[in-house]
Amino acid sequence: MKKHWFYFLIVSFLSISAFAQPQKPKLVIGIVIDQMRYDYLYRFWDKFSDNGFKKLMTKGFVCHNAQYNYMPTYTGPGHASVYTGSTPAFHGIIANNWFDKNTRKLTYCVEDENVNTVGSKSDAGKMSPKNLLATTITDQLRLATNFKGKVIGISLKDRGAILPAGHFANAAYWFDGDKNGVFVSSTFYQTSLPQWVKNFNKKGLPKQYISKTWKTYYPIEEYSLFCAPDNNKYEGTFKGKAKPVFPYVLEELKDSNNYYSILKATPFGNTLVKEMAKAAIEGEKLGNDAITDFLAISFSSTDYVGHKFGPQSVELADTYIRLDLEITDLIQFLEQKIGKENFILFLTADHAAAYPPKYLSDKGYHINHLSEDQVFEIINNKLKNKYNIDSLLLSVYNQQLYFDMDKVTQNSLDLENVIEFVEEELIKINGVYKVYSGEDILEMNKIPVLKNLILGYNQKMSGDVLYILKPGWLSTKYNTGTTHGSPYRYDTHVPLLFYGKNIPAGETYKQINITDIAPTLAALLKIQEPNACIGKVITPLLKSK
């Protein structure tokens, strides 16, 4: 009997010890793809390699119904929400740009006049995470490791590098285009670039890529199954290019398209980011010890291409086919350099995108555009006619209306009556579907599309009246390319894939909110969730013990 008790105690001790000291990954890689719709995984499936998206989906865990749960769905709030596990209502990044009620000027989500560029003489580095009100999962990792675990953010876009990297990052790097063609940072992080970044910039990859000609990866006729014809009226194109057709000789187009900045709207922008990410892993020795590091990567060329050419274009399809090869190369590099059992990788998007209204309208679905400039002009004229006061409306931005409260007070206007009048006039405009005041939103019910307004509404920063366009309508004046920002599924449904250490092969069709990523990573890393986190752990992803 004593012998059995002895074995029981030994087994219990070993079990408790193993549970108390979980092995953590040496490196976490977060990949955010700018403007990726969930359906692209399957739309381009037959053209993907076996070791990129397909490998992540067949060997990793797939969340088929990952959704953004707020409005507006833009790049800044998207990256902030993924990494804070929160929404604009709490983390404060309510859009890429927003109208500041106090200064009465537009504010860019990562602008910071108190810091300077590191790496070039331009103003591209006058950026920081100062407007981000919440901590990120990367911040929590830094805190949990007593600032010994490294965090690096990399993207073509400043906001795509800074917001994921958080407040305590070792560094964030983004691409300074035009005639510079280098990755830069900010004095928020450091006073000079580390040697590995200087060496990377000296390699002159942008100069090599700008001498290339962008041709389709496969014969162009093979794109006809999932793309509109290469030359169609729904696509924009580069300056100096008469038609949106392949091939694109970048050397001939660079002078008319901000020189190295043209790379952003080609697949070579993604190549540049991938190579920078690999250089960061080697240069910072990420994943080289038992203390977990974090590399946040954002691929932005997909967004630039999507905005210019639209989701029906050959250009967009070719960009994703080539991005699949970049992801293949990155996974192979990680498995060779770090080892599959030593890293966790997740891949998602910061928002999706709509089809061009003109494209759908010509097919028989009669929708259109309604720009914010049009709304501003209509409502300002209505207010002028009713109250005989100029410029009662200061701005219409992100489908939000901001009133001049000084004029409301000076003219003894009843704000509630003004708002009620504006709501009545807004709803008359063709294309407007729903109108709400700020007070309405704070008392709103739980209808999914409408709940997105609540979680995207920040009482201090957002507008006085908000409106939603009809499904399919875009808040732009252009008939080519596409945009995003709505609370509808074509903008909110994105991929979400997990792969690597302790990640089982599997899938779930349960709705997963984008805010669930950060708490899930916290559970995997055994650290505290970000301080404004509202998400829940994706429990099917965690192996049972």
CA distances from 311 to 40, 143, 347, 353, 545 (A): 9, 41, 20, 8, 43
Could you tell me which of 72, 139, 1, 68 has the C-alpha nearest to residue 485?
Answer: 72
Can you state the percent helix, strand and coil of the chain, rounding each to 5? 40, 15, 40
Residue type (1 letter), 98: W
Residues known to be catalytic: 75
31 contacts 343 by C-beta, under 8 angstroms:
no
Tokens standing for 85? 């596990």
Q: What angle do CA 284, 286, 291 make, to 5 degrees?
A: 125
Could you tell me which of 156, 188, 197 has the C-alpha nearest to residue 33?
Answer: 156
294 contacts 138 by C-beta, under 8 angstroms:
yes
Residue 8: how many other CB atoms lie within 10 Å: 10
Report cis status (omega within 30 of 0) of the bond before 495.
no
Write down the number of H helices and E strands in the chain: 21, 21
The residues, ordered by sequence, that sit 6+ positions from 543 with a Cβ below 8 Å of its Cβ are 502, 504
Cα(331)–Cα(500) distance, rounded to whole angstroms? 10
Cα(483)–Cα(490) distance, rounded to whole angstroms? 11
